[in-house]
Amino acid sequence: MEVQGSSASYNEADVQALVVPVFQGEKTEDGLLKELDKAAGGLVSSVLESEELKGKEGETAYLHVSNSNGLKARRLLLVGVGQQEDYGAASLSQMAGTAIRFLRGKSVKTIAIVPRAKGDAGKVASTVVEGAFIGIFEPDKYRTEDKEKREIERLVVVVEGGDENALNRGVERGRIVGEALNLTRDMANEPGGHLTPTGMAERAREMANEFGLSIDVLDESRMTQEGMGALLSVSRGSDEPAKLIVLKYTPPYSAEPPETDLLALVGKGITFDSGGISLKPGENMELMKYDMTGGATVIGAMRAIAQLKPPLSVLGIAACSENLPSGKATKPGDVVTAMTGKTIEVINTDAEGRLVLADAISYAKTLGATRIVDMATLTGAVSVALGDVNVGILGTDQALIDELIEAAQEVGEKFWQLPLDKEYSRQIKSDIADIKNVGGRRAGTITAAAFLKEFADGVSWAHLDIAGTAWGEDAKPYRSKGPTGTAVRALINFIERDARGKAADDEAAA
Ligand code: BES
Ligand code: ZN
Ligand code: ZN
């Protein structure tokens, strides 16, 4: 899909279909809808008056405007976007996704969207393009029949009178972010038998080579040398070796003075989680192919960072392993020693994410990370607490957490903080080792984070539990069922905001 910005009038857009959002209860008395109504010979007011379209989110009305008065597009799609005062990044992005999915179904190839959003033209354009890329993704790679073959060739974002440069930069940013997000979704959708830890390392390597990131992949012998007993205990039951993928983005020009701060993104990359000896029930076990979404989120975000080139270095680490039962597998009750020397009693082999993350976080520290944001499909408990609406966020640095929540909000994502009081750490005390890997039935998401905290001491740290939000159980008008790519946009925005803050600090210091 080719994307472009236009600051000319929507009348001029040389496309098959024009997309216009409609607010709840909006009429054609004035403004854009009045103009369109005129061009469409009264069809817009007729649709609104008949209440076929009330402007509720996700509603659509599709019009053919054959005798159009000055309108180049011969088709008009009205998309409901809800209350005007709530029209922010989330509804803007969803409007674009809904439009793309709807029009693709009608075999339309070229589309112009008039976002009708206030604010910076570049931001608006980026959000629209991101939403369009989210909408276009179809998880049907393995279908040989009934595959979605209809493609959108060109999307134009029309912000009349908008700053042309800002608009074009926004459109380009939207493409970069949208493609990164779909890489994450594509990987999350891969069956465990197709995407193993080795496969993930290959995908990461291809991406790194294409976009100029440095990459190092630790194999099991190097992990043994590093003493990563926690990570290695998870892959022990599998014939597929674990891989620790380490990506690094360095800005094209060296920062002056040299950077003292290093941000690391760390993701859980369990390419299939059967539970191990603590085997999961069969129902829905197939979904545990997406237990590597944290790792894929890191890889997706790093892909975008490599192209957006913010002026700060970023490490991206994905801890990849399978979690399977076998005669060699770690058993409940076994004690393993993490890279830091801390001993862990493995009560439940299904609580494996925290084991791989423990060593990945420690390794990030040895590489000089001073701030760590980890992300993982870590606990079923986060779905109980927050459903599929909010990502759970916890950590030790409130300023970092606040920044992440704000960065998420700005791009239409939702992060909700859970507490991490020291009292919760009592639940992971072991009778025979330093700590144990489960903390009982209560506060499951928090005790999982309390476990990670043991390894994130000395740095500024935040943890995202994306187990409830990484997978959409139903299709929505704006995206397919399946992997959602949640947190990719938030992380990219967080890094860009952080870089802007740094740039401002540097200026103030100079
Ligand atoms: N990968 C799962 C968590 C999960 C559940 C992700 C559902 C996505 C959807 C994780 O490894 C796990 O099994 N966690 C256990 C921990 C328990 C044994 C303490 C859980 O949440 O039940
Ligand atoms: Zn598990
Ligand atoms: Zn898991």
Tokens 């009305």 correspond to: 61
* pLDDT, tens only, 286-331: 999 999 999 999 999 999 999 999 999 999 999 999 999 999 999 9
User: Of all atoms in ligand 1, which is nearest to the CA of residue 278?
Assistant: 18
From residue 58, how far is each of 75, 81, 82, 92 by CA, in Å? 18, 7, 8, 11
In angstroms, the CA 359 to CA 354 distance is 9
pLDDT, one tens digit per residue, over 52-68 is 999 999 999 999 997 66
- Residue in 350, 424, 473 to alter for ligand 1 test, most ligand atoms within 8 A of Cβ: 350
* Ligand 1 contact via 356 beta carbon (within 6 Å): no
Q: How is residue 450 written in tokens?
A: 């309390």
pLDDT given at position 256:
64
Q: Which of 273, 379, 384 is the pocket-test mutation for ligand 1 (most atoms within 8 Å of CB)? A: 379
Catalytic: which of 72, 150, 280, 502?
A: 280
Q: Which residue among 203, 354, 365, 453 is the active-site one?
A: 354
Q: Is the pTM of this model over 0.85?
A: yes
Catalytic residue status for 222: no
Q: Which residues contact 422 (CB under 8 A, 6 or more apart)?
A: none
Q: Give the pLDDT confidence of 185-215 residue by residue, as tens digits.
A: 999 999 999 999 999 999 999 999 999 999 9
- In this prediction, residue 68 carries a pLDDT of 63
- The whole-number average pLDDT for the span 484-494 is 98
Cα 198 from Cα 441, distance rounded (Å): 34
Contact 358, 449 (CB under 8 A): no
Q: Is the CB of 460 under 6 A from ligand 1?
A: no
CA torsion through residues 267, 270, 273, 276, sign: negative
User: Using CA atoms, how far apart are residues 64 and 327, in angstroms rounded to an integer?
Assistant: 65
Which amino acid does the sequence have at 96? A
For residue 509, the model assigns a pLDDT of 78
- The protein residue whose alpha carbon is closest to atom 13 in ligand 1 is 350
Asked whether 417 and 446 are in contact (CB, 8 A), the reply is no
**Residue 165: is its pLDDT beyond 90?**
yes
List pLDDT tens digits, range 101-126. 999 999 999 999 999 999 999 999 99
